[in-house]
Structure 1
Amino acid sequence: MPAHGLGGDGSLARDVGGYQAVLAIEDPLTVRLTYVGSDGYPLPTVPGALKVPHAAEIRELKALAKGVRGTLAGERARAEALMAADGRSWRHGAWRREWLDHPVSGAVARGLIWEFQDSGGVWHAATPGESVLVTVDGRALPVPPDGARVRLWHPARARPGVVRAWRGFVVDNRMVQAFRQAFREVCVLGPDEAGAARSDRFAGHILRYGRLRELFRERGWRPDHRGRLHGGAPPAARRVLGGGWRAVLRYDPAEQGDHVVAGHVRFERRDRRHWSRAGLADAPPLVFSEAMRDVDLFVDEASIAADPDWPDGEDRHHLHYRREAAFGRPGAAAEARRAALERVLPRTKIADRCALDDRFLTVRGELRTYGIHLGTGQVRMEPDGALLRVVPSRRKGQSGLFLPFEDERLSLILTKAVLLAADHRITDESLLRLIRTEVR
């Protein structure tokens, strides 16, 4: 794994024309290049005095920053892939060399929760701190010997109370994780799936095919580039997971538009050079959970029910599905948002105006009460349940809150909640007119 010349703290500094250029990995998600002048203040852009006489050095630094960002992104993906690798572990000495002490990988490792096995075979969860391993209750875990085993922590292996405690730890310490780990969705076999060969829990959802293709690429699924979308057999997408397992998602073209209808999910196991079908219960719990989590994400992100730009009143296709799904039973991603909101909302000024249940964040405004769906982000007004289309500014960081994981829908829900809690201050006349309808 390239270190790009970075020091042990993930940074390097170079003197450039009276300035010091500093390239640093600030957290598992951020690489920043700044220029520090004689006044000691870092500048986020290239000073004008350097642009021409030091153009070659500036280009080199920008290329280096791009390379570091690429390596960091690759390490985030490599670490997240371990969430489905139930048997993957390292000896403590090898783990330190490969992860913790590496200038790039270390930034990822320090933002994650790991498990360390003691001499009795018991696993203890901790996160790397300053020269110490810190447990969820703030204690220092004794440094394991070089031969002790280390593995990545997964909430599916932890008790619910421990998961809640780690979620509190992440929020309280403003811990930036490389990916959604503490708040990760966990999917388990349903009562009707235990003896089944396939799962239909996502079947029937109508998805935007363009967005679905993007998600396939992001999550490592390989779709057929043929099938009924092109006049052949039913198409499918596949993802190879740990331990010789593969998940398969079937889908079909919808009746109208560039949409597809989600079908069943099943699992296959590698048998030498071939893949053979297996029952849902045969898949290891982490393999099952990670695959189903991906499909839940596909529905959450690509469903037409969550599309704020859907042309109401113009395109009537799939209207029944959209109305049902917009406020229906949410999936695992919505449960993670609910868990995050439970931690975040008490820190806001609108806490006393908000209430959470399994489906909605309910917000009490001055004019009306609103329910914001935790899955789709759609808003309905009480008491009649009328849909209110709210498309606030999506400027990043608008809420000013620390969120425990990156999720555009979560940010949007919070932004809508802040707006609607002060609905009497809304200046958009068209939106205000909808709110005031039948309120008088």
Structure 2
Amino acid sequence: MYLLTDAERATGTYSNRFAAHFLRQHQFHSLAGVRGWRNKLRLSVDDEAPPAVRELPQWGLRAEYWIEGDGGEHYQDITESGSFLRLRTDQVRFYPIDAPENSAHCCGGEYRMWLRDGQDPVEALPLDSIPPLVLSEVLRDVDLFVGVASVGNDPTWQDGGPDGRFQEYWTSYGFGELGQSAQTRRILLDRLIPRLAIADRCTLEGRFLHVKGNRHTYKIHLGSGNILRTPNDQYLCIVPKSNAAAQQAGYLPYEGDRMLAVILSKAMMLAADTKITDPTILSQL
């Protein structure tokens, strides 16, 4: 359950809980469609687009996730067809379902409400007026978008991606404070670990699952799944297998939380680190 935070009570009509992230646009677009959101791909053109929208007719509400295209300083991060490779995220808001539509320039800028003749602007609804179940489900969707599509959860981006411009974001996302979904994941792991065959090699400490291997001790971040190893918290890059490959290898899939399965699969592998044969991983050990 995603509950209203003190910060959201303070902002009143919008949530910044999932703002200031960088998402892979096409992955986000696909996920949004699966979850019932209406979204328009951001193109590097002189045009406007609405936010990502989920309509909730049974509640008479419309949820909005404000986003904008991010093409880099010189608009180099776009495809040949002109679509942005990545998005920058902003607020989550709620409006009456029949409120006039908001839009902003595809390349970024302030959202504003388009009004037809005779229409008056409609303010975003106070978050504390949104039914808790509706608020929780919408924030759960947005948490999924960030958790899956963020460039921060790509273990190969330790260098910060193109021109290193995502370095600060990647480090903060990959090893920083836990979001609500990661905190829930921590609670689940606390219950699951005693049942695992590797339970005696695992401990939960703060933001990390610590795993004792034979070569090193490892710290797996509960938000991103990124790994640090002894000595000196050296970064260890392990790219997760696809879901199909993971299931064939005997890893446990968890519906709705792919990262939990990723963390468990990494823990199982690292607890038996003398049995690792992958040359890419071995070269880092």
TM over 0.5: yes
Which TM class, normalised by the smaller chain length? 0.7 to 0.9
Residue of structure 2 equivalent to 1:210:
26
Task: Determine which of 200, 207, 230 is the counterpart of 1:352.
Answer: 200
State whether residues 229 and 252 of structure 1, in contact with CA within 8 Å, keep that contact through their aligned partners in structure 2. no
State whether residues 354 and 361 of structure 1, in contact with CA within 8 Å, keep that contact through their aligned partners in structure 2. yes
CA-CA distance at 1:237 after TM superposition: 0.7
The percent identity for this pair of structures is 39
Task: Determine which of 41, 47, 70 is the counterpart of 1:232.
Answer: 47
Bigger CA drift: 329-338 or 380-389?
329-338
State whether residues 55 and 97 of structure 2, in contact with CA within 8 Å, keep that contact through their aligned partners in structure 1. no
Report the CA distance shift for 1:392/1:300 in structure 2 as closer, same or farther (over 3 A). Answer: closer
Task: Determine which of 188, 193, 200 is the counterpart of 2:16.
Answer: 200
Spell out, residue by residue over 1:401-439, the C-alpha distance to the aligned partner (whole angstroms, 9 max, x if none): 66553543222211111111122232334423422xxxx
Report the CA distance shift for 1:407/1:269 in structure 2 as closer, same or farther (over 3 A). Answer: same
Report the CA distance shift for 1:248/1:313 in structure 2 as closer, same or farther (over 3 A). Answer: closer
Task: Determine which of 133, 148, 158 is the counterpart of 1:301.
Answer: 148
- Paired residues in the alignment total 248
Alignment of 1:289 onto 2:136: yes
Residue of structure 1 equivalent to 2:281:
431
Letter in 2 for 1:434: Q
Q: In structure 1, what is the Cα distance between the partners aligned to 2:257 and 2:161?
A: 29
Alignment of 1:254 onto 2:75: no
Residue of structure 2 equivalent to 1:376:
224
State whether residues 399 and 415 of structure 1, in contact with CA within 8 Å, keep that contact through their aligned partners in structure 2. no
Spell out, residue by residue over 1:220-242, the C-alpha distance to the aligned partner (whole angstroms, 9 max, x if none): 1111456x753334641110124
Q: Superposed, which structure 2 residues align to 1:38-437 within 5 Å?
A: 186-195=1-10, 196-225=12-41, 229-233=44-48, 235-241=50-56, 242-256=58-72, 257=77, 258-270=85-97, 276=122, 277-310=124-157, 312=159, 315=162, 316-391=164-239, 393-394=241-242, 395-397=245-247, 400=250, 405=255, 407-435=257-285
Q: In structure 1, what is the Cα distance between the partners aligned to 2:29 and 2:130?
A: 25
CA-CA distance at 1:283 after TM superposition: 1.1
Q: In structure 1, what is the Cα distance between the partners aligned to 2:87 and 2:276?
A: 38
Q: In structure 2, what is the Cα distance between the partners aligned to 1:313 and 1:296?
A: 22
Report the CA distance shift for 1:360/1:287 in structure 2 as closer, same or farther (over 3 A). Answer: same
State whether residues 160 and 167 of structure 2, in contact with CA within 8 Å, keep that contact through their aligned partners in structure 1. no
Report the CA distance shift for 1:197/1:434 in structure 2 as closer, same or farther (over 3 A). Answer: same
Q: In structure 1, what is the Cα distance between the partners aligned to 2:158 and 2:254?
A: 33
Spell out, residue by residue over 1:259-285, the C-alpha distance to the aligned partner (whole angstroms, 9 max, x if none): 0111111111246x7684211112111
CA-CA distance at 1:246 after TM superposition: 1.3
State whether residues 293 and 332 of structure 1, in contact with CA within 8 Å, keep that contact through their aligned partners in structure 2. no
Alignment partner of 1:361: what SS? strand
Q: In structure 2, what is the Cα distance between the partners aligned to 1:330 and 1:232?
A: 36
State whether residues 250 and 264 of structure 1, in contact with CA within 8 Å, keep that contact through their aligned partners in structure 2. yes
* More contact order relative to length (CA 8 Å, sep ≥ 6): 2
State whether residues 335 and 358 of structure 1, in contact with CA within 8 Å, keep that contact through their aligned partners in structure 2. no
CA-CA distance at 1:326 after TM superposition: 0.9
CA-CA distance at 1:346 after TM superposition: 1.9
Moved over 6 A (4+): none
CA-CA distance at 1:336 after TM superposition: 3.5
Letter in 2 for 1:303: S
Q: What is the Cα-based RMSD across aligned positions, in Å?
A: 2.6
Residue segments in structure 2 that go unaligned for 5+ positions in a row: 78-84, 102-121
Report the CA distance shift for 1:267/1:433 in structure 2 as closer, same or farther (over 3 A). Answer: same
Alignment partner of 1:349: what SS? coil
State whether residues 300 and 331 of structure 1, in contact with CA within 8 Å, keep that contact through their aligned partners in structure 2. no
Q: In structure 2, what is the Cα distance between the partners aligned to 1:314 and 1:287?
A: 36
Which structure would you say has the larger Rg? Answer: 1
Report the CA distance shift for 1:379/1:398 in structure 2 as closer, same or farther (over 3 A). Answer: farther
Letter in 2 for 1:375: G
Alignment partner of 1:222: what SS? coil
When the two structures are superposed, what TM-score results if normalisation uses the length of structure 2?
A: 0.77
Letter in 2 for 1:305: G
Report the CA distance shift for 1:364/1:240 in structure 2 as closer, same or farther (over 3 A). Answer: same
State whether residues 235 and 252 of structure 1, in contact with CA within 8 Å, keep that contact through their aligned partners in structure 2. no
